[in-house]
Amino acid sequence: MSGTSAAGSGGASRDSDLVAGHLRHARTRADAAHVELVRERVSLLRYGNRQITYQHDEERALLRIRLVRGDREGWALVETASKDRVEAAIERLAAALDLLPAGDPAPMPQPWSQPAGPAAACEPTVLVTPAERADAFAILAEAVPGSIGLGGSISTRILHTVVANTAGLEVAEQRTRAALQVVASGAHGSTLVRRIGTCWDHIDPREAAATAAAGVPDRPARDLPGGPVRVLLGPQAVATFAATLAHIGLGAVGPGGTVGPFGMTTSAPRGPADGASPATTLSPLVTLTDDARDPGGLPAAFDCAGWPKRRVALVEAGRPVGVVHDARTAALAGTQPTGHTAPPGWRFGSGPAVSHLMVSPGGDDADALLRRVDDGLLIERVDYVRVVQPRQGIVTGTTRDGTRRILGGRIVGPVPQFRFTIGLLDLFRSIEAVGSRREHGEAPFIDAVVAPAMVAAAFPIDAIARR
């Protein structure tokens, strides 16, 4: 078996045996078959008004089966690994195959081996108990002054995945994720602190509490300035915008499988001297990479189809240089899949998807970034970001937690949250400075995103927000 595994090797072995058994049955019903088993354990503690409000532990299994017969293929998704139910699903899918429309089934990966990379799983995250999560909350409640409102969540996620196919591939991996979110609020506004990583014991509740308490506004709100304004986007805001840009614009589509949905083609040469359209270049301070093997992210070795994850340079110094591929778009482009297959029936789309986005840091510390803004706003994070025009990269949303007025390079007080509509290409073309410190962000359509703060020259404020 190639791939990696961590704690719980006995369970991993049993899951590999289960998948092998299901694959043997599936291969009797088709020319080729693929089986993926995903076991997930999620533990969540929520707190609000300085007390625990909810504790939840859930374990679930999902099994995906792909059958290929001639030029027809079909999928079955079963939320159990039970032998009888899985075999029944295989029989139903096999019976339906000849009724499905003919197509061009994408190839399945052959067996592969990959050099050892960063650990995808951390044993303390696997072993953390509800009592330890409650202890972490108690540390937060003690460290944050009683005059400050306290809410948020503490969670861990353990994912074990086995993928096998009739080409001889069998890979397995355990991945972990620990997360602490703190929302601290006072009479004049709130702030959010988010800490995410593979290892539970690398998250420090005292540090998060101190950072959150220091960020609560202590001055009355000021009026919103007229827009557009210069802004300092915090790492959480940049993470959301960058993840959205990558999701809708840096997965291969179109002729030859080399063009993003809003025209960020990767054809060389590039740049203004070569006649590139302004819409296809960003600020030279923006560099984006998809790297599932970067230890600073949440590492993973393969995608849901079993293709190995490869590092993909997406944007280098503002110039789009690459897109991620699944097997189908890679064949169109005459290249290899990069390990970015979207699961069948995925609610966020069907094409190849960026999964581990790393936004490169710059050289400015927090004070230098404020000085670069001089007169404008600090936006810590954004919420309810929705894509309005995917081909143009236009999104709308609201600011959330920690929108502040900056005057003379200093934060002078909060301002009301406001709605905005902005073109992501315009935003990332206007970047004038990038921070040196990065944070893990999150979005429902991406496995990991790590980003620094950025200064943007112009950010719109919807007119209605200032009424």
What's the pLDDT tens digit per position in 423-450? Answer: 999 999 999 999 999 999 999 999 999 9
Backbone angles phi, psi at 407, to 5 degrees: -135, 130
Q: Is 200 exposed, middle or buried (0-12, 13-18, 19+ CB in 10 A)?
A: buried
Mean pLDDT of all residues in 168-195: 96
**Closest alpha carbon to 401 in 143, 44, 151, 49:** 151
> What does the longest C-alpha to C-alpha distance in the chain come to?
72
pLDDT at residue 11 in the model: 67
Domain ranges of the chain: 2-213, 219-466
- Specify whether the CB–CB gap between 280 and 272 falls below 8 A: no
pLDDT at residue 3 in the model: 44
Look over the chain and give the mean of its residue pLDDT values, rounded to a whole number.
90
Terminal Cα-to-Cα distance of the chain (whole angstroms): 62
- Note the CATH architecture for domain 2-213: 2-Layer Sandwich (3.30)
**Model-level pTM greater than 0.85?**
yes
State pLDDT tens for residues 85-129: 999 999 999 999 989 999 999 999 999 987 777 889 999 999 999
Distances (CA, A) of 24 to 12, 65, 339: 18, 12, 25
Instruction: Give residue 7's pLDDT band: very low, low, confident or very high (50, 70, 90).
Output: very low
pLDDT at residue 409 in the model: 97
Identify the residue with better confidence: 440 or 189: 440
